[in-house]
Structure 1
């Protein structure tokens, strides 16, 4: 693999379906921009199916660098292994079951080349199901001027759409070891370090929704860690960019939120899914009852209201629905 690549694409995989992983890999290998390396980290060394698939593509394309963890170390540490060896000026993230549009890397590189003040650029998504059928197009987005104001309250960035400058890795020291929402912490530390986040209002990635995805199985953990990450951000604002994060501090937070108690976690997962359903269906009275009878859901509702305010007032409509395919 040549050392003068412009872009390093970093993907972590664990238990993706074979057809989804193939779609993801091929969407990167078939990019119109060719000068990149593709670093794939397998965080499940016992998964022989994925191992064979990745080795198959590696034998056909020397841009692939394949790392296999000796044991499961989690998304953050796996990603950091990829970031550590990345040679590109720019780093693009990609999930192992999403699909990048053919011109994604070309468009993001061109954007960062032309906008040196931008350290990270994200884009728009098209949502697909497990059979790659299109479910919806992202209809609205927050522009570059607004995104930094929205992020402290909610995370509107899809991880698979981001590309950032390699120097950000040195400044932030990569991802921190959260069990969920580690990308959210990553973005908020961009803000804390005055690293500008920009938005390219074009469709770059097809984002896959799986039946056993995080929205159904880890909704409580995702939400709880988001609350924790926001508190750390507030600490950094007050304390000259220093927060109290540590493995021990996170352990105490998990105990406080009972994140290892399966009964409580499953109960709150169901409540969050009901909250989303009632909100979507406009079942106001059921929604109010749910919010008023659970402090955690009440806190989530306040965040929803704040985000809704930003969304209604500041979000912009997407002008070209077919932009990603051109």
Structure 2
């Protein structure tokens, strides 16, 4: 039986719970596609429990390569370090608190070949701290020209669902140090370089929503950085020509005022979405009217999502 090309799965570990890390590692080791290496970067060298867990699985499965950073260098540098060790033709991203379905690598490998593309984005469901699972929004298969258009309204990909040719990373020089938006920066640069993306309809990952997953400061910074990236992309400005320092710069913003608006708006948007999923449409209407008036962040996200829906309907027929 043809084993197929070697796939390098890359994952960073920092302070994930034992249960999460264990399930994450096992979900990769139990893949139906067997020809892979699993590169795990421990970015918190004093996390002895995580190191013990990884080494336990490494002793059982020689496909695991553990890279232990001498100090905490962050996700971007950790992933770039993993890439420098990767021997596979393809790279699959994974996070240490998520769970891949057993057919993930097989499905994405088959799609990247059958659709003749460079980059495959998977569909995800969400898992919360209490282990409640919530279905993610389901899209039809999206081809590169559709994705290129929809990216004007926000990042329609979840980073740990990525599966792409290693040559794409080489061409772009890996990830850049764009605060809280390294994935959006990467995929927009890839699109601008002619990389052909495909978003599959099949669910490949349980993506964990952590209460401590993003700090208040990072939520503000992520919003500002993503707005800048979206503005550059919509204006057909070559993002690779803009330095990460320029994208990260927040000088001139009324930090405290905008941060409070973002935090309030994010909470209200979460309430709106939960009510919408429960089909409590009257509550949604009342929330939308109120928050469109009082919260600039909610208003911007709400109408951007409306435009996204209209474009999605237009390009998918």
Post-superposition Cα deviations, 1:243-271, rounded to whole Å, max 9, x if no partner, equal 32232x2453x233466x6x863553133
Asked if 2 retains the 8 angstrom alpha-carbon contact of 1:130 and 1:210, the reply is yes
The structural deviation recorded for 1:288 is 3.6
The equivalent residue for 2:100 is: 100
Distance 1:65 1:204, change over 3 A: same
**CA distance, structure 1, for counterparts of residue 11 and residue 254 of structure 2:** 31
The structural deviation recorded for 1:295 is 4.1
Aligned pair partner of 2:242 in 235, 241, 244: 244
Aligned pair partner of 1:256 in 252, 265, 271: 252
For structure 1, which segment, 263-272 or 16-25, has the greater mean C-alpha deviation from structure 2 after superposition?
263-272
Distance 1:304 1:200, change over 3 A: closer
The equivalent residue for 1:84 is: 84
The equivalent residue for 1:306 is: 307
**CA distance, structure 1, for counterparts of residue 216 and residue 69 of structure 2:** 27
Asked if 2 retains the 8 angstrom alpha-carbon contact of 1:7 and 1:90, the reply is yes
The equivalent residue for 2:279 is: none
**CA distance, structure 2, for counterparts of residue 307 and residue 19 of structure 1:** 37
The structural deviation recorded for 1:19 is 0.3
Instruction: After the TM superposition, list the runs of 4 or more consecutive aligned residues in structure 1 that deviate by more than 6 angstroms.
Output: none
Post-superposition Cα deviations, 1:52-91, rounded to whole Å, max 9, x if no partner, equal 2112211221111111222222221111111121110000
The equivalent residue for 1:127 is: 126
Over aligned residue pairs, what C-alpha RMSD do you find?
2.7
The equivalent residue for 2:56 is: 56
Asked if 2 retains the 8 angstrom alpha-carbon contact of 1:233 and 1:243, the reply is no
Aligned pairs for 1:38-53 within 5 A: 38-53=38-53
**CA distance, structure 2, for counterparts of residue 161 and residue 223 of structure 1:** 21
For structure 1, which segment, 129-138 or 6-15, has the greater mean C-alpha deviation from structure 2 after superposition?
129-138
For structure 1, which segment, 218-227 or 27-36, has the greater mean C-alpha deviation from structure 2 after superposition?
218-227
SS at match of 1:256: coil
Asked if 2 retains the 8 angstrom alpha-carbon contact of 1:124 and 1:141, the reply is no
Instruction: Specify every segment of 5 or more residues in structure 1 that has no aligned partner in the other structure, as ranges.
Output: 317-326
The equivalent residue for 1:213 is: 213
The equivalent residue for 1:22 is: 22
TM-score (normalizing by structure 2): 0.85
Asked if 2 retains the 8 angstrom alpha-carbon contact of 1:41 and 1:82, the reply is yes
Instruction: Specify every segment of 5 or more residues in structure 2 that has no aligned partner in the other structure, as ranges.
Output: 276-282
Distance 1:38 1:258, change over 3 A: farther
**CA distance, structure 2, for counterparts of residue 80 and residue 20 of structure 1:** 23
Aligned pairs for 1:137-176 within 5 A: 137-141=136-140, 143-144=142-143, 145-176=145-176
Aligned pairs for 1:311-326 within 5 A: 311-314=312-315
Distance 1:219 1:280, change over 3 A: farther
Asked if 2 retains the 8 angstrom alpha-carbon contact of 1:279 and 1:287, the reply is no
Q: Which has the higher contact order (CA 8 A, sep 6+)?
A: 1
Post-superposition Cα deviations, 1:159-205, rounded to whole Å, max 9, x if no partner, equal 12110001101111111112212111111111100100012221211
**CA distance, structure 2, for counterparts of residue 203 and residue 269 of structure 1:** 30
**CA distance, structure 2, for counterparts of residue 47 and residue 267 of structure 1:** 36
**CA distance, structure 1, for counterparts of residue 142 and residue 248 of structure 2:** 36
The equivalent residue for 1:272 is: 266
